[in-house]
Structure 1
Amino acid sequence: MTPKFTAPLVLSVLSLGLLFAAPAAADPDSVFAEELHTYGIYGQKDYNAWIAKITCKRLYKNVDHNAFESADFVHTNLAKDSTTAQAWQFLAAALRTYCPEKLAVLQDATKP
């Protein structure tokens, strides 16, 4: 079943994510894992970082054409009890950490 993503959900995740912007000098994988923990997303640090990096690669290669497709990919690869909000939080954290130049896809998702 494909999760339903709405503009208000995307906006709230984007806004919340700005509060957790990672410092540039720290290890990106550790910072990413710490941010995920604030959202209740756990699991192996390397696995989560790998999913995040693959998400960026999918956007670069145009496999995913928008944030909705990326969030669906993330949701499919998170633990089965993960929520739609957590998928979006993961996506926002992944983009900020590993491919900040792709953050515009989140902004595009809020447009009607």
Structure 2
Amino acid sequence: MKLLGIATATLTAAAIGLAAPAHADVDTDFANTLHTFGIYGQRDYNAWIAKLACKRLRNGVDTTAQASATFVGNQLDRKLSDQHAWQFLGLGIATYCPDQQHVLQSAVDQQN
């Protein structure tokens, strides 16, 4: 799958995450949005993976969106696609670390 298509889907996921109404439980909202992408799993685990992905980006462990999506994909159910990993990452960044949005934008810019 081409990175541009995946990155575009990721930015779409991020936009959906940002457009969601605010609730008291961000982790539940995150899980509910993941379900719309066909990504299931324990709510707390999925939130932990997203928060860990943010920490890895902030600390420079993952320096690109591709590296971060690979990390996320390795944590998810093996039946899920690369697109799911990118959707998870996009939503995770939008939800837990919007200051890292530039990482996703860089992936799109590299394809243009």
Q: What TM-score results when the alignment is normalised by the length of structure 2?
A: 0.89
Q: CA-atom RMSD, angstroms?
A: 1.5
**1:15 correspondence with 2:2:** no
**1:83 correspondence with 2:90:** no
- Contact map agreement 2:23 2:29 (CA 8 A) in 1: no
User: What is the CA–CA distance in structure 1 between the aligned matches of 2:92 and 2:86, rounded to whole Å?
Assistant: 10
User: What is the CA–CA distance in structure 2 between the aligned matches of 1:109 and 1:16, rounded to whole Å?
Assistant: 15
- Contact map agreement 1:5 1:84 (CA 8 A) in 2: no
User: What is the CA–CA distance in structure 2 between the aligned matches of 1:19 and 1:57, rounded to whole Å?
Assistant: 22
The number of equivalent residue pairs is 109
Partner-residue secondary structure (3-state), 2:109: coil
Higher helix share: 2
**1:28 correspondence with 2:17:** no
Q: What TM-score results when the alignment is normalised by the length of structure 1?
A: 0.89
User: What is the CA–CA distance in structure 2 between the aligned matches of 1:19 and 1:49, rounded to whole Å?
Assistant: 17
User: What is the CA–CA distance in structure 1 between the aligned matches of 2:26 and 2:93, rounded to whole Å?
Assistant: 12
- Contact map agreement 1:74 1:91 (CA 8 A) in 2: yes
% identical equivalent positions: 46
